[in-house]
Amino acid sequence: DASLPKPIRIRLDETDPAKVQLRTPESDTPGTRVRVLGRVHRMRAQKDYVFITLTDGYGYLQCILTGDLVKTYDIMTLTLETSIAIHGEMRAVPPKQHAPNDRELHADFFTIIGRAAGDKEAITTRVAPDADPQTLYDNRHLVLRGETSSSVMKVRAATLRAFRKAFEENRMLEVTPPAMNAYLTQSSQLYLETCLPSLGDVFCVCPSFRAEKSLTRRHLSEYTHIEAELDFITFTDLLDHLEAMICRVIELLLADPEASKYIATLNPDFKPPSRPFKRMKYSDAIEWLVEHNIPNEEGEPHKFGDDIAEAAERKMTDIINQPIFLTHFPAEIKAFYMKKDESDRRVTESVDVLMPGVGEIVGGSMRMDDWNELMAAYKHEGMDPSPYYWYTDQRKYGTSPHGGYGLGLERFLAWLCARYTVRDCSLYPRFTGRCTP
């Protein structure tokens, strides 16, 4: 109808009460004619009405088509995921009826932009929890259109935002170390250490790659690694900083109306962890595992020096059911660069942060800052020190007590959003046997 006023284009979240800042008089004035663009997320037809829930990646909007519009071929053959432009008037939803944000669009015009084949509808909109995981991974590009997967991706973005803000509040500078070396990088730590003298405390958010044979629900071949390095600190400073960072990030996320809404839906029982976090030495964890009859990988009682395997770690974390800073691992089972504890040189100033449901989400330590000790450590490991001259040099030109950590973003998200596997917290997960699509 050419006599109608020219519509104003709005995005679908402009009527979301959580996003007051987006609201304009145009998007929320009764009687204003608007134009929305999106894809059909849900639809329901009655005799004279067709209800379409439209989504554009920003929000959801219920659109109501009536009269001649519903008698068209395009609407009678409409499929989910078809992209469409709809013009109409925004109105409040009548009392006792429900629609996203209590708004609905009364359409007076539409155009189909791109039809969707009807075959994969089941995958795209509501991921059947019992669907074959391989089928879901093959169709990850469509699964991502579902409400659950897209919510996790939105919490992921909000988490990265919160980490960056919390780092900034700690006066830490973001750097971008190389990801490609002779091999793909497993960690940016050694580069971060070289930044301290000129840049102060630093962090990075980079992909890390692991040749993990383990097909577990918490191992990816490529993951997003949030790493940080702090100068002139003690081990206690490192633990205090880690606890403060984790709590601040959660505080920022819960203060974010959009992220907190998704978290509440994905993980209704989520409660921010209480402080201070439990701090437990590796040797005490070994005793705890023995007392609770949780055996090591050989099926024998744990003894000092054993790696605490994933299954045992998870059992312990789930029973204790609160974040744990597991500290002071034996030097023999940890990386060569970790600083030894002066009061017990069998162990290192190291920490793993364990979360219920997931287990380890952070690994960190103080770094060996003595040149002679580092050279001895290379020798002990059978490593040729020459390619590491640039790393070793830090100990030669004004060394300092320093330390840092790496946090696996997908593991943090699996904990926060109560996902069974880290694979659901990655845009396109890569793990043993999968590097498509």
Instruction: List residues binding ligand 4AD (CB under 6 A).
Output: 187, 189, 210, 212, 219-220, 223, 225, 227, 360-364, 404-408, 410-411, 422
Q: Which is nearer to ligand 4AD, 143 or 362 (CB)?
A: 362
The residue with tokens 């790696």 is 307
Task: For the beta carbon of residue 276, count every other beta carbon within 10 angstroms.
Answer: 12
Q: Which is nearer to ligand 4AD, 125 or 189 (CB)?
A: 189
Closest to 104 measured CA to CA, from 49, 159, 157: 49
| Residue 23 contacts residue 29 (beta carbons within 8 Å) | no
Q: Which helix (H) or strand (E) holds 242?
A: helix 235-255
Q: Which is nearer to ligand 4AD, 12 or 409 (CB)?
A: 409
Give the nearest distance from C-beta 323 to ligand 4AD in angstroms: 13
Give the nearest distance from C-beta 226 to ligand 4AD in angstroms: 9
Give the nearest distance from C-beta 334 to ligand 4AD in angstroms: 9
Q: Which is nearer to ligand 4AD, 50 or 245 (CB)?
A: 245
Q: Would you call 347 helix, strand, or coil by DSSP?
A: strand
Give the nearest distance from C-beta 130 to ligand 4AD in angstroms: 25
Q: How many CA atoms lie within 13 A of 65 on its CB side?
A: 25
| Residue 127 contacts residue 149 (beta carbons within 8 Å) | yes
Give the nearest distance from C-beta 409 to ligand 4AD in angstroms: 8
Tokens representing 218 are 């918490």
Cα separation, 294 vs 286, in Å, equals 10
Q: Which is nearer to ligand 4AD, 7 or 406 (CB)?
A: 406
Sheet with 402-408, edge to edge strand ranges:
173-174, 202-209, 222-231, 402-408, 359-366, 350-355, 324-327, 278-281
The residue with tokens 């839906």 is 265
Cα separation, 358 vs 249, in Å, equals 18
Q: Which is nearer to ligand 4AD, 100 or 404 (CB)?
A: 404
Q: Would you call 365 helix, strand, or coil by DSSP?
A: strand
Q: Which is nearer to ligand 4AD, 38 or 406 (CB)?
A: 406
Cα separation, 80 vs 87, in Å, equals 19
| Residue 302 contacts residue 294 (beta carbons within 8 Å) | yes
Cα separation, 380 vs 344, in Å, equals 19
Closest to 146 measured CA to CA, from 167, 125, 123: 125
Give the nearest distance from C-beta 11 to ligand 4AD in angstroms: 34
369 CB-near residues (< 8 Å, 6+ apart):
339, 395, 399, 400, 401, 402
In this structure, the strands spanning 103-114 and 350-355 are unpaired
Give the nearest distance from C-beta 117 to ligand 4AD in angstroms: 35
Give the nearest distance from C-beta 29 to ligand 4AD in angstroms: 48
Cα separation, 134 vs 56, in Å, equals 27
Q: Which is nearer to ligand 4AD, 36 or 152 (CB)?
A: 152
Q: Which is nearer to ligand 4AD, 38 or 364 (CB)?
A: 364
Give the nearest distance from C-beta 151 to ligand 4AD in angstroms: 21
- Cα radius of gyration rounded to whole Å, the chain: 27
Select the residue whose beta carbon is closest to ligand 4AD and give its number. 363
User: In Å, how far from its chain's centre is CA 37?
Assistant: 28
Give the nearest distance from C-beta 214 to ligand 4AD in angstroms: 8
Q: Which is nearer to ligand 4AD, 62 or 185 (CB)?
A: 185
Give the nearest distance from C-beta 360 to ligand 4AD in angstroms: 5
Q: Which is nearer to ligand 4AD, 110 or 203 (CB)?
A: 203
φ, ψ at 345 (rounded to 5°) = -75, 5
